[in-house]
Structure 1
């Protein structure tokens, strides 16, 4: 009986450690997370938005993670930390971040209180798994005094958008001369850009900035087809490229993802994912430089030979005329003298 009681008590302790209730006291041992307790923080200010995004003023994530946005059912008495989730940031590296824009899963149309929470990347896969795990993975950072690291703000809605929230992109396999590629279609609910990346964008490299090979000009909200994108450097061999739709987060119609070190103009992304990616095989068309050169050489040689032949023919014809004239003169003189 004592053994069974011990197992039950141990199981209860593990389950309670996996979940930090919003605003509730943390009853688990602080020694399990002494490296992060008291260090994580998140700040969201009162703001005005069109209902599609919210701005988190600042966040510190000691071990990296995400910022989740919740509606007021996150707060007591509901305390629904899973069902209240209405948006999640991209994966954020360890450290401090400023002005993080979070795209909401569905636009909100009414003024309301929203809550931002700082969440860990518990399984280190850079994907927000809190919802799919029913709150057991990628849980919130906890405060020293207990409770989740969160902050709330009043959000005022103006000019609410009625656009569909689903971004789409199609980047089929294609042939190219190496200078440009074509995105077959892209839907940008809020407008933005299309970036072309090399495969080093993907894990394990995760070079989200250095992998950028080219990007489009600003595209208005809606669907665009056959978008031609010039590459910064020509593709010289067959390869795999990625097409990714980006938002114009600062609304200046200029692609600032690189110059902002990835903070502005972030990618459109499904909930919890890093980005919406379309992958295509690019085949480089072989330009017949050697054949053209050879053809040109042969053509030049043949032309020279034809010119030489024509010159010789003309010379022989001239000599024939001279001979005829000479013969006529000789004949004339002969008869004159005789």
Structure 2
């Protein structure tokens, strides 16, 4: 018997990641789409098969639907995800978990009360290069981690969104809340927590709207760039930069500096993972390239979510881990 899933919000993340990956998963029988703009939902239903509902409550109240992807904009995650959980659905929520800690706690309370599974879409954990790096670090093949640097930047959400418009909700303070920090930055915060088995506890950061303008020609209300220095609980030091103004190719690179060498991730097109050892030897792992906005491959997130439902496993990205990342974003923004 296949699983029926619902998707709330039919923007780019649903169109390019969630819907095609559900469609490709052998355990998923049907996808049910909801968007405030019904035409968008209809377009995805035609493209991927499935059907459309006119209200979000129809998703919540349909006993045949087992799981829901919350692909709505940031400011309503705490409403949609909480309601989905409390109506007995497992939920895959897009990042960030919520726009602030209070709303995140509401979601976590709904998760606790409902007993349903909640996974957050921090998809960087699932790439082959990051999984391999994690394995190397866990085995301490290069000794202890000392420092790190990570970047995530591209040309901005107006180039990725469905409408290709600078009226995008990502630029609106009341909807996006945290700008590039919550869009791209939170991914790399989660990645550092995951790779290092550690948490960032101290932050010094600069952020600002340097170049992006909204549909009226004014600088946007949220940051389009962040540069920060970070310290973890275990004493590792690092830097991070997140940007919507990298007006060339996307940068999704991370470097981990250890006692016996360096791990370079997504810095060379031919070798997504390179180890440079203290003795001068170099190992190149020719793994798959990372997903970019222009190169969509299966992220592994949907398969992991469906797997944890079928086999009753703990989700590989938990709400508590997502909350820890959200707290770092709040520190970065000085909240």
- TM-score interval (norm. to shorter): under 0.3
With structure 2 as the length reference, what TM-score do the two structures score?
0.21
Greater Rg over alpha carbons, structure: 1
Write 1 or 2 for the structure with the bigger share of strand: 1
Higher relative contact order (CA 8 A, sep 6+): 2
